[in-house]
Chain A
Amino acid sequence: DQQVKQNSPSLSVQEGRISILNCDYTNSMFDYFLWYKKYPAEGPTFLISISSIKDKNEDGRFTVFLNKSAKHLSLHIVPSQPGDSAVYFCAARDSGNTPLVFGKGTRLSVIA
């Protein structure tokens, strides 16, 4: 049973527009959420995170929003750039010693 779900396998966005990547989770014990970005033939790299005590975290062009009641988080990229084309993974963990749980990823294509 998937605890972290990324229901959109792929997303195409025009350069300069907003990209919105979505992630849903089922475990109410999750209290820390992360987004990773992965280019082909490379390992995933950490992008941004948010604690459950917040509902928004911003870092430059990247903003993560958390809606705890809906068990939903989203990553906004504004403005989107061709270099943002990659696979984005959502991940979550609870407050115990358990490892991160990853979603299956969403492939973002930013078209020039």
Chain B
Amino acid sequence: NAGVTQTPKFRVLKTGQSMTLLCAQDMNHEYMYWYRQDPGMGLRLIHYSVGEGTTAKGEVPDGYNVSRLKKQNFLLGLESAAPSQTSVYFCASSLRGNEQFFGPGTRLTVL
């Protein structure tokens, strides 16, 4: 039982490049989330999903897109990376929207 896993763990991009972050969970959870954590800002919700095939915007959705084609996977895409997107990204999942289980994070640097 791996819980929530994130791929990759680290990534360096140049401004304008694109990339996709993958989140996978093996707990059969309905809800999945993408957060970013920046110094002094806490955890800010980017996008979330309440079930396979559904997505919704969070607090800071601009510059990101998501897809939930399979229940166990939640992808976060950056179409044209900007230095402001340098951050640590956390994925989380939950069964019914209460207690969330977090992945280990992806540290992204955009030069």
Could you tell me if B43 and A43 are in contact, using CB atoms closer than 8 angstroms? no
Q: Which B residues from 43 to 73 make CB contacts under 8 A with A?
A: 43-45, 48, 50, 58
Cα-based distance from A44 to B98 in the complex (angstroms): 14
| A110 CB to nearest chain B CB (Å) | 21
Total interface residues on A, CB under 8 Å, equals 22
Could you tell me if B99 and A104 are in contact, using CB atoms closer than 8 angstroms? no
Across-interface contacts of B98 in A (CB, < 8 A): 32, 34, 49, 93, 100
Q: Which A residues from 41 to 58 make CB contacts under 8 A with B?
A: 41-46, 49
Chain A residue at smallest Cβ distance from B107: A41
Across-interface contacts of B42 in A (CB, < 8 A): 6, 89, 102-105
Across-interface contacts of B92 in A (CB, < 8 A): 43
Q: How many A-B residue pairs have CB under 8 A?
A: 52
Main SS of chain B's interface residues? strand
Which of B4, B31, B100: most chain A CB closer than 10 A?
B100
Q: Residues of A with Cβ closer than 8 Å to B? A: 6, 9, 32, 34, 36, 41-46, 49, 89, 93, 97-100, 102-105
| A49 CB to nearest chain B CB (Å) | 7
Total interface residues on B, CB under 8 Å, equals 24
- A44 CB contact (under 8 Å) in B40, B45, B102: B102
Could you tell me if B40 and A43 are in contact, using CB atoms closer than 8 angstroms? no
Contact with A along B76-111 (1 / 0, CB 8 A): 000000000000001010000111111111000000
